[in-house]
């Protein structure tokens, strides 16, 4: 049996060399996580206890991300209630252990991840748990969660717990008494240019007003390139932020320093942060501050905490069973338990570690009752959303990247329920794969869901998730329903780490047809029609008036603005709801557009990017963005615009006539054409080298020397201020060129 694992030490150790990263598979993910974090994940063993709808979502996400191994434990027999969210179970698996029935399909997701089952008869004791870096408990009784958390504390494993009860969910994280987070936000280190430093105690630093410094109090920074206060250069300081463009150096008394003259850069130094977590036993009674997800429900998390404690108390008294759907008496019992727990909370002297007590808890009775009435149900969207959050917490524990949840997270969608509780017969199980969802929304609404006719535009990462969710929900699975999906792309290897409906054998195949076939295997009743056409005016013979008139809604899962705006115009014209979403790294956004109720997608636009004046780009670049834009502009002119003009001159007999109608660019274009075909035309590889060498001199030496000749270092403006300041930094053309002999080999 493995020795107990010290998770903090394991996270601090250098990433193991053998865990080479497959950049072809994880290329997109590496932009977010980085190689070191990816290697740490690839050396992590994870155990998931509980393979219901939430559990399989976590398992799927963790496998796709690329941990070393995933072990599954769940002997619970699969039931009809599972089929509303557990997408790797079918009716043929009913009665089989959920973990065993799911293993083979989960193992197909990533060839680099070893997926296995806990050996039959193996107890989840401390010796066994010590072989894992992360342990995740899903849908477990409170007593079992507490037991597993205690064991994880003893053996040094990170512990997470998650529950989805109808349309309410809870997540708990305990990464131990000391956990090292190497990068709390994953953002690039902030940097800014300095415009002033005061001779005060403490010294105050001001940055350029056209660029916020992006720092926070407590951050560490280094300062370089300051003229005058040379003592600051190369030093590291912890700062106190005083404004979006200013901060102080508390440890610096600059009263005796020389005057600040000009220049300087401040660069953030990202340092590891040590975090301490409380055990579940402690945090259950005194949860501390909750992570808030819905700012329209600021007071909801404490209420949900007590509601879930009431549910656990009910389950303890009823042999682990949840309140039957729609059972008002059982819901009342949950309320009584929650009320008892809340009333029993006592505060100590200063209240710093007080047991949670919700004031005026009676006002929240309706919330607790509504949670209890649907707690036995399950919905795929809630499992998918919470599976994403909980899966991300697993990756944080394994990689040490991004700040974990500390420690409770609650969310609900009670607003989606009917205004009045549904009668028991409306939510009673029917021996249907939708029993879990019927327990929440009722059989009548389920019939309407099956009859929905929707259009999914895009079958990438979001599109795959939507198809899976709809298959579980029954969208388009009735005789009158249907799902249309279009995507003109083909499957690539880099897609496989996040577009989970595809396998390596599907590379090169159309995304739409492959995704549609995968979704239909999850629910054979799904009526799905794939297309390989883009959405644009040119395809309105395919997606015509009859097509849109036959829809109930449109869901966009696109990767470009133009297509989104086009679909927005189509939905406006035909009066259709549009569900818009997108992702960028670990960030995501959604927008629900309802005709005659909300603004449409194109009603608001991102502000245009700030343009950089040509004189700044050419003579006084002082930000990295300036140099990038300058380089792009030069490259565009030298290697695209000029070659395009030359090719047009050689191939288009009307070129000169067309150019006469553009007097503003006529001379410049003709000069570039003549230079390319006559003066600068290369006739050998040596000519190309000579051209490049002359361009280098022109751009990086001669132009700078000319500028310094026109404006010497001691030049002043008409107001008497130094010309060379922070906004016009001194350009240094110092360059030593040596003649070298280079051997160039050409491979054919």
Q: Rounded distance, CA 686 to CA 465, Å?
A: 55
Q: In the numeric block, which tokens belong to residue 49?
A: 């206890």
**C-alpha closest to that of 416 among 440, 395, 393, 400:** 440
DSSP annotation string for 653-711: TTHHHHHHT-HHHHHHHHHHHHIIIIIT---SHHHHHHHHHHHHHIIIIIHHHHHHHHS
CA distance 500 to 558: 17
Does 158 qualify as catalytic in the annotation? Answer: no
Side-chain-facing half-sphere of 658: CA atoms under 13 Å: 8
- All residues at 6 or more sequence positions from 608 whose CB lies less than 8 Å from its CB, including other chains: none
Strand segments, DSSP code E, in 106-200 are 114-117, 134-138, 158-165, 168-174, 179-181, 191-197
Burial label for 679, CB within 10 Å (0-12, 13-18, 19+), is exposed
| Pick from 326, 382, 439: nearest CA to 80 | 439
DSSP 638: I
Q: Euclidean distance between the first and final Cα of the chain, in Å?
A: 56
Q: Which of 152, 464, 555, 615 is catalytic?
A: 615
On the CB side of 331, how many CA atoms lie within 13 Å of its CA? 19
- Cα-based angle 577, 578, 581 (whole degrees, multiple of 5): 150
Q: How many angstroms separate the CA atoms of 556 and 576, rounded?
A: 12
Q: Cα(386)–Cα(170) distance, rounded to whole angstroms?
A: 9
In this structure, are strands 587-593 and 578-584 parallel, antiparallel, or unpaired?
antiparallel
Residue 141 per-residue DSSP state: -
Please name every residue paired with 223 in a beta bridge, in sequence order, or none if there are none.
235, 266
Question: Which of 207, 182, 210 shows the shortest CA–CA distance to 267?
Answer: 207
Cα-Cα-Cα-Cα torsion 732, 733, 734, 736, nearest 10 degrees, comes to 150
CA dist 394 and 401 (Å) reads 11
90-97 LR contacts (CB < 8 Å, sep 24+)? 90/522, 91/433
Residue 310 burial (10 A CB sphere; 0-12, 13-18, 19+)? buried
Instruction: Give catalytic residue positions.
Output: 615
């Amino acid at each position: 049996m493995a020795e107990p694992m010290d998770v903090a030490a394991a996270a601090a150790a250098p990433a193991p060399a053998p865990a080479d990263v497959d950049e072809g598979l994880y290329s997109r993910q590496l932009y977010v996580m980085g190689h070191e974090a990816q290697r740490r994940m690839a050396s992590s063993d994870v155990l998931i206890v509980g393979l219901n709808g939430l559990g399989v979502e976590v398992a799927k996400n963790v496998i796709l991300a690329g941990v070393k191994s995933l072990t599954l434990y769940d002997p619970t027999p699969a039931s009809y209630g599972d089929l509303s969210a557990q997408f790797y179970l079918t009716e043929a698996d009913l009665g089989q252990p959920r973990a065993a029935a799911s293993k083979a399909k989960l193992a197909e997701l990533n060839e680099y991840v070893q997926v296995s089952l806990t050996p039959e008869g193996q107890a989840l004791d401390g010796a066994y748990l010590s072989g894992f870096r992360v342990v995740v408990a899903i849908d477990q009784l409170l007593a079992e969660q507490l037991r597993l958390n205690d064991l994880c504390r003893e053996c040094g494993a990170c512990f997470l717990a998650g529950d989805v009860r109808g349309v309410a969910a809870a997540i708990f994280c305990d990464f131990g008494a000391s956990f090292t987070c190497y990068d709390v936000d994953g953002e690039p280190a902030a940097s800014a240019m300095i415009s002033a430093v005061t001779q005060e105690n403490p010294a105050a630093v001001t940055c350029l007003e056209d660029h916020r410094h992006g720092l926070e109090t407590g951050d560490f920074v280094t300062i370089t390139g300051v003229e005058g206060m040379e003592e600051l250069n190369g030093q590291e300081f912890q700062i106190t932020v005083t404004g979006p463009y200013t901060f102080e150096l508390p440890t610096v008394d600059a009263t005796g320093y020389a005057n600040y003259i000009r220049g300087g850069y401040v660069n953030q130094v990202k340092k590891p942060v040590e975090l301490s977590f409380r055990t579940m036993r402690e945090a259950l009674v005194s949860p501390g501050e909750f992570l808030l997800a819905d700012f329209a429900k600021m007071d909801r998390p404490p209420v949900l905490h007590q509601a879930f404690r009431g549910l656990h108390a009910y389950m303890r008294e009823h042999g682990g069973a949840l309140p039957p759907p729609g059972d008002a008496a059982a819901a009342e019992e949950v309320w009584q338990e929650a009320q008892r727990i809340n009333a029993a909370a006592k505060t100590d002297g200063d209240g710093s570690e007080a047991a949670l007590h919700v004031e005026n808890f009676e006002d929240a009775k309706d919330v607790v009752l509504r949670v209890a009435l649907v707690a036995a149900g399950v919905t795929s969207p809630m499992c998918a959303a919470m599976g994403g959050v909980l899966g991300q917490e697993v990756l944080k524990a394994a990689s040490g990247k991004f700040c974990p949840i500390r420690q409770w997270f609650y969310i609900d969608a009670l607003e989606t329920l009917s205004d009045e509780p549904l009668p028991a017969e409306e939510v009673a199980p029917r021996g249907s794969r939708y029993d879990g969802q019927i327990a929440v929304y009722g059989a009548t609404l389920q019939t309407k869901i099956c009859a929905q006719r929707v259009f999914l535009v895009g079958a990438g990462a979001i599109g795959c998730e939507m198809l899976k969710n709809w298959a579980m929900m029954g969208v388009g699975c009735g005789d009158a329903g249907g799902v249309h999906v279009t995507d003109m792309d083909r499957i690539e290897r880099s897609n496989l780490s996040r577009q989970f409906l595809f396998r390596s054998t599907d590379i090169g195949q159309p995304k739409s047809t492959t995704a549609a076939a995968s979704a239909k295997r999850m629910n054979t009743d799904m009526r799905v029609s794939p297309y390989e056409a883009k959405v644009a005016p040119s395809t309105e013979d395919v997606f015509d008036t009859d097509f849109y008139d036959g829809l109930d809604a449109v869901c966009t899962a696109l990767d470009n603005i133009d297509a989104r705006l086009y679909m927005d115009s189509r939905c406006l014209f035909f009066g259709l709801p549009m569900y818009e979403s997108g992702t960028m790294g670990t960030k995501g956004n959604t927008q629900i557009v309802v005709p005659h109720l909300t603004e449409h997608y194109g009603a608001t636009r991102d502000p245009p990017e700030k343009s950089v004046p040509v004189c700044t780009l050419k003579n006084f670049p002082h930000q990295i963005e300036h140099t990038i834009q300058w380089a792009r502009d030069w490259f565009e002119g030298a290697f695209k615009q000029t070659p395009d003009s030359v090719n047009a001159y050689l191939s288009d007999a009307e070129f000169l006539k067309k150019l006469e109608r553009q007097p503003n660019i006529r001379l410049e274009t003709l000069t570039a054409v003549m230079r390319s075909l006559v003066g600068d035309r290369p006739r050998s590889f040596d000519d190309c080298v000579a051209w490049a060498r002359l361009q280098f001199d022109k751009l990086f030496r001669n132009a700078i020397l000319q500028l310094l000749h026109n404006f010497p270092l001691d030049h002043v403006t008409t107001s008497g201020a130094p010309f060379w300041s922070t906004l016009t930094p001194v350009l240094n053309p110092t360059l030593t060129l040596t003649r070298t002999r280079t051997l160039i080999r050409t491979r054919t």
